[in-house]
Structure 1
Amino acid sequence: MGVLLAGCGGAAPAPADAPASAPSSADAPAGALPAAVTQVLPTAYERLTASADRLDPAQGYPRSVDAGKGTWTTKPVDDWTSGFFPGQLWLAGQLTGDQAWTARAQRWTAPIGGQVTRTDTHDLGFVVGDSFGAQQRATGQGAQEVVTAARSLATRYSPTVKAIKSWDTDGDDDKRGSWRFPVIIDTVMNLSLLDQAATLPGGDPSWRDLATQHARTASTTNMRPDGSIAHVAVFDPDTGAFVKRDTWQGADPDSTWSRGQGWAIHGFAEQARVAGDPELRAAAVKAADWWLAHTAPGSRVPPWDFSKPGEERDTSAAAVAASGLLDLAQQTGDARYRQAAVETLEELATKDVAPGGPALLAHAVGGKPQDSEVDVGMVYADYYFLEAVSRAS
């Protein structure tokens, strides 16, 4: 991976202001990023610097942009999204080679240490993996936090179901209360925490097997025969029997929530790489091929749910998928996946950079159109954009 645009830089011109003759993905040499993508990176670094230095992690972690105010809406450190902002800071340091990012990233990572003993959530990969996990890879520090968090996450694994329970739902009054053992596709994104911790001092090597088995389970239950993904797979915890597919985030149980499809591509590809598992690589290919069949050059950013064409596009889904496609391209040598990922990054850089405000990308969807986080900047959209850039470089 090359170093891109050292330092936080000044503001880059908005993509619309780029010269008309700027090279596109079709013109760029094989392996190169389109100029439109590299041109927005200084803007990303400048906005990250401003937010990291101005905000206080004790007051909350950036999650979504308040469209009216043009400022971050923050959430407490126990929110599932808290790890993405420090994760971006670690990625910025990796991409630029500028050590100034380390202090910022450490400042935003340290408060997350109080989350590592939680056993009430499957989101420890998002929270701890993207913060302390990144710190451990970058500096060697943070191994204890990664191992403790993985041990906490492993308590949610059921050998009967052969999966990690995503949500504790028994007794809830909402729809989820009837799901005795729900497995949401998002959970495959948290497995990398187990993989990393399994190799660290004090870690349990069996955690890697646990992660692989969870991914295999999801690949046959959350994934439909055609390669599309259902958000929720429901199990009987007593017998391990698969009960049904359902949805929480998608439009309906039979539809395909676009970020969920992205989670599947990314998560299955990652587990296939770590485990060297051909079954999971085939699942990632199947999910990726479905994605490619339902997006096209110039419209790689999908609607929030594929059953809702013409409704809000979701840049977070596109960024997640692009990162996963790049991982899969490296594993398979299939140029289609890299080409689609690069086209996605170029589309995001030319159509979806926010004209101002704290986030780089606009037009993300946090939930459903009736929710508040719709057509706004989201911290995880920016995170996966930078992760994809790092993988493409």
Structure 2
Amino acid sequence: MLDRVGEPTGKNYPRTMKDNGDLAVTGMYDWTPGFFPGSLWYIYELTGDTIWRNQAEKWTTTLEPLKTFTGHHDLGFMVYCSYGNAERLAPKPEYKDIIIESAKSLSTRYDERTKSIKSWNYRKAWNDTTEWFFPVIVDNMMNLEMLFAASQLSGDKRYYDIAVTHANSTMKNHLREDYSSYHVVDYDTITGNVKYQGTCQGFSDNSTWSRGQAWIIYGYTMMYRETKDSKYLETAIKTADFYLKNLPEDLVPLWDFNVGEAGYTPEGKSYAVTFEEKLKDASAAAITCSALFELGQLAQNKTYTETAIKMLHSLASPAYRAQLGENADFLLMHSVGSIPHKVEIDKPLTYADYYFLEALVRYKNLKKE
């Protein structure tokens, strides 16, 4: 893939595969550029080969301009998956400064009225009439890890407090009684009250998008690690249990747990209205697999660890692991970006590879103990 993509330009971060099999790349202001450098860091960690460290450093440092970016909430993915791993594996003083400044930029999207970090700017729901003025998505849980890191690096407790407040709002407003999750919650910008609960990338407003559930499991496992507050561990366990009981035999979920079921109806312009194939999403499996390795340790529950190992074997099997030279050189096949948006349907995804590699690192570290 490095040969295929050439030198980093700020505009050529691997993201997915085109319909013709070619590599599809993206610019740094997309939400995914941090995953490729992050994957290079994990390969360095797995192999110890400095060739990978040198490449990881090169691809990471091109992302420095992002430290002042405030256009959407994904700065944790963009900066922490790259610079966070750089700081962990080959620290340099400037990495700390970039992480702290990125956290400062992300914090500009926090609003005391909603007690949340605004994910996206204004947009409409699939029915084309419901307007979202302060949409918050479950994916946002993943960006909180950078705030904790910045709090530790800077000594500024404000970042820690924002992360905790946001996680509490998500716990209150994104989770249903059975610990399934809404993808999107829209807040009233004046009162801070919840106006809407539904989906943007899932099958329907009342369904559970599997990657969204994966972000939740991973996010609250991380919250417990960082705070040691037992309510986060309980949430991680209950959301994981919901996810696990809805899995097929190979432990890779459908892209939405309720796709095609009675009582779940996509609407408006969503491509899910007409797309009926029940596709799997390997990216959701990879994220959850990585989370379960950590949850197994934090909860001292071997069942989660054993399930994570089985998931890893499933993802590494020929059913999901691509042959060398195929799949635009991505590791995993059969992920789903967003069926409602009609993009990246049954394609490799850079973040699927990133969390697969992270799961391998966690598995390797587990075997050392």
TM-score w.r.t. structure 1 length? 0.83
Aligned match of 2:101: 148
Is the contact between residue 169 and residue 176 of structure 1 (CA under 8 Å) also seen in structure 2? no
Cα shift at 1:76: 0.7
Tell me how far apart the structure 1 counterparts of residues 36 and 58 of structure 2 sit (CA, whole Å).
11
Change (3 A) 1:172 1:316: closer
Is the contact between residue 116 and residue 128 of structure 1 (CA under 8 Å) also seen in structure 2? yes
Task: Find the partner of 1:343 among 307, 310, 314.
Answer: 310
Tell me how far apart the structure 2 counterparts of residues 266 and 51 of structure 1 sit (CA, whole Å).
32
Aligned pairs for 1:1-393 (under 5 A) are 49-51=2-4, 54-68=6-20, 70-141=21-92, 142-169=95-122, 175=128, 178-201=131-154, 204-296=156-248, 298-308=249-259, 311-350=278-317, 351-355=319-323, 356=326, 357-368=328-339, 371-393=342-364
- Higher mean displacement: 227-236 or 302-311: 302-311
- Higher mean displacement: 239-248 or 126-135: 239-248
Cα shift at 1:300: 0.6
Q: Deviations over 1:350-393 (max 9, x none)?
A: 12012323101010101016613011111000000001111122
Tell me how far apart the structure 2 counterparts of residues 176 and 79 of structure 1 sit (CA, whole Å).
26
Is the contact between residue 71 and residue 358 of structure 1 (CA under 8 Å) also seen in structure 2? no
- Aligned residue pairs total 342
The code of the aligned residue for 1:249 comes to Q
Q: Alignment partner of 1:200: what SS?
A: helix
The code of the aligned residue for 1:163 comes to S
Q: Alignment partner of 2:25: what SS?
A: strand
Aligned match of 2:264: none
Change (3 A) 1:177 1:106: farther
Tell me how far apart the structure 1 counterparts of residues 3 and 139 of structure 2 sit (CA, whole Å).
30
Change (3 A) 1:171 1:368: closer
Is the contact between residue 186 and residue 197 of structure 2 (CA under 8 Å) also seen in structure 1? yes
Q: Alignment partner of 2:49: what SS?
A: coil
Structure 1, unaligned runs of 5 or more:
1-46
Structure 2, unaligned runs of 5 or more:
261-276, 365-369
Tell me how far apart the structure 2 counterparts of residues 114 and 64 of structure 1 sit (CA, whole Å).
23
Change (3 A) 1:370 1:152: closer
Q: Alignment partner of 2:256: what SS?
A: coil
Change (3 A) 1:177 1:72: farther
Q: Deviations over 1:80-107 (max 9, x none)?
A: 0000000001111111122221110111
Change (3 A) 1:312 1:276: same
Tell me how far apart the structure 2 counterparts of residues 136 and 73 of structure 1 sit (CA, whole Å).
28
The code of the aligned residue for 2:149 comes to Q
TM-align CA RMSD: 2.0
Change (3 A) 1:151 1:293: same
Change (3 A) 1:175 1:117: farther
Tell me how far apart the structure 1 counterparts of residues 357 and 311 of structure 2 sit (CA, whole Å).
13
Is the contact between residue 364 and residue 381 of structure 1 (CA under 8 Å) also seen in structure 2? yes
Change (3 A) 1:325 1:51: farther
The code of the aligned residue for 1:200 comes to L
The code of the aligned residue for 2:259 comes to K
Q: Deviations over 1:197-233 (max 9, x none)?
A: 11114x5222112111211111121111101111011
Tell me how far apart the structure 2 counterparts of residues 216 and 392 of structure 1 sit (CA, whole Å).
30
Change (3 A) 1:177 1:107: farther
Change (3 A) 1:176 1:326: farther
Is the contact between residue 169 and residue 177 of structure 1 (CA under 8 Å) also seen in structure 2? no
Tell me how far apart the structure 2 counterparts of residues 89 and 78 of structure 1 sit (CA, whole Å).
20
Cα shift at 1:243: 2.2
Cα shift at 1:50: 4.1
Is the contact between residue 201 and residue 341 of structure 2 (CA under 8 Å) also seen in structure 1? no
Is the contact between residue 78 and residue 115 of structure 1 (CA under 8 Å) also seen in structure 2? yes
Cα shift at 1:175: 4.4
Aligned match of 1:27: none
Tell me how far apart the structure 2 counterparts of residues 71 and 56 of structure 1 sit (CA, whole Å).
18
Q: Deviations over 1:170-199 (max 9, x none)?
A: 699984971121110000001011011111
Is the contact between residue 65 and residue 358 of structure 1 (CA under 8 Å) also seen in structure 2? no
Q: Alignment partner of 1:300: what SS?
A: coil
Change (3 A) 1:268 1:77: same
- Higher mean displacement: 78-87 or 273-282: 273-282
- Higher mean displacement: 148-157 or 306-315: 306-315
Q: Structure 1 runs of 4+ off > 2 angstroms?
A: 49-52, 54-59, 170-177
The code of the aligned residue for 1:222 comes to H
Is the contact between residue 32 and residue 78 of structure 2 (CA under 8 Å) also seen in structure 1? yes
Tell me how far apart the structure 2 counterparts of residues 221 and 266 of structure 1 sit (CA, whole Å).
17
